[in-house]
Structure 1
Amino acid sequence: MRFAQMAFGFCLAALLAAPALADRLDRFGAATRLLDSRAATQYSGSVRLTPNYIEGTRSSSTIVPRWTGSYRGPYLDIARAAARRHGIPEDLFLRLVSQESNWNPNAVSHAGAIGLAQLMPGTARILGVNPRDPSQNLDGGARYLAEQYRTFGSWRLALAAYNAGPEAVNRHNGVPPYRETRNYVRIILGTS
């Protein structure tokens, strides 16, 4: 009997609190939309309001500098669309492609990475894309970067995993101490 009274009391309290909770959620949603739209643009360049980055944290607060490259060829719109499709900041992906291949669809690295987004053949196979097809290469690169972001929770670590492999990021619990990878992350994120 006592249990039934307690259960009834909890149900009654929940019913009475529901309108207040709904109102609070509506206000929170409105504030979040404001922060995600107008305020995000307004404060994107603020140094004072930017959180300090701590090496190895899984923060997603990295601010990506605008891509200011001179490339205006046919792959630019394809890269932008791939970034949007996979939830990647466009400027970040454009900076990645610039760094990886300098927009050369026929680029092949010393390690064997192929195309605009420099996909390794094994990675391209896993992603189910033809690395020699520029559109598929860009889509595969964007999808792979998005997977790394979902795994590591920050663009800094996602870029490190894209360059050195996710195993290296896990093994070193952060950006690996490889000069090439550290420079790669620094150049794409525009940090010193």
Structure 2
Amino acid sequence: MQNITGTAILIAALGLTSGQATMAFGDGLSLSGASSSNRSQLFRNQTRLLDSRASSQYSNSTRLRPKSDVATFDNTGAIPRYRGNYKGKYLPVARAAATKHGVPQDLFLRLVQQESGWNPSAVSHAGAQGLAQLMPATAAKLGVNPNDPGQNLEGGARYLRMMYDQFGNWRHALAAYNAGPGAVQKYGGVPPYAETKNYVKVILGG
């Protein structure tokens, strides 16, 4: 409202001012009536200044908005924020691993939550191990020790990124992480396995 009023005053001043009159405004704005061409130039300068201040004020106001439940986007769509209760020592390790390999942090945290519930000793019925539930063969291929929590998270983030680079979106990358890249290639997307479909849905939503 202050910016709109300031602009209106400037316009009115241009219409009413002649000769050598000078009118001063708040925030360091002034209008001199030295000539019509000078007044026009001053008006343009003052308007640009007001517009820039309005833009700055709008930008500041957007920073006060509450955080969204959406962390980021890609061609998959919205990636929900991590809202898990776990806030322990492996959380920053997982965040660092995700950042290192260009994986959205919230996506990777949700993956670890789904895979192991943040239990570094978790072992699945298929033999997957640790926080990111790496299969022994996958861990060997990546050159990490699946029984070391830090290396396990490092390997998990790196493998997820490899799947993203192969398939081009996080939905298919997650499906490949769960069911293997061969299944995603075979079906041209998320395979019709109940476990995999639920896995992707829990992590990505929708």
**TM-score of the aligned structures, taking structure 2 as reference length:** 0.65
- Give matches, 1:1-192, under 5 Å: 60-191=75-206
| Inter-CA distance 117–46: structure 2 relative to 1 (3 Å threshold) | closer
CA distance in 2, matches of 1:45, 1:136: 31
* Alpha-carbon shift at residue 137 of structure 1 (Å): 0.1
- Secondary structure of 2:80's counterpart equals coil
CA-atom RMSD, angstroms?
A: 2.2
CA distance in 2, matches of 1:65, 1:121: 30
1:5 is aligned to none
Consecutive unaligned residues of structure 2, counting only runs of 5 or more, are 1-62
The answer on whether the counterparts of 2:76 and 2:171 sit within 8 Å (CA) in structure 1 is no
Consecutive unaligned residues of structure 1, counting only runs of 5 or more, are 1-40, 52-58
**TM-score of the aligned structures, taking structure 1 as reference length:** 0.69
Q: Deviations over 1:101-133 (max 9, x none)?
A: 000000000000000000000000000000000
CA distance in 1, matches of 2:90, 2:113: 11
CA distance in 1, matches of 2:68, 2:168: 22
CA distance in 2, matches of 1:164, 1:93: 17
* Alpha-carbon shift at residue 60 of structure 1 (Å): 2.5
* Alpha-carbon shift at residue 178 of structure 1 (Å): 0.1
* Alpha-carbon shift at residue 190 of structure 1 (Å): 1.6
Which has the larger Rg?
Answer: 2
| Inter-CA distance 134–67: structure 2 relative to 1 (3 Å threshold) | same
**Counterpart amino acid of residue 143 in structure 1:** R
Greater per-residue strand proportion: 2
- With CA pairs under 8 Å and 6+ residues apart, which has the higher RCO, 1 or 2? 1
* Alpha-carbon shift at residue 94 of structure 1 (Å): 0.2
**Counterpart amino acid of residue 94 in structure 1:** L
CA distance in 1, matches of 2:197, 2:136: 23
* Alpha-carbon shift at residue 63 of structure 1 (Å): 1.3
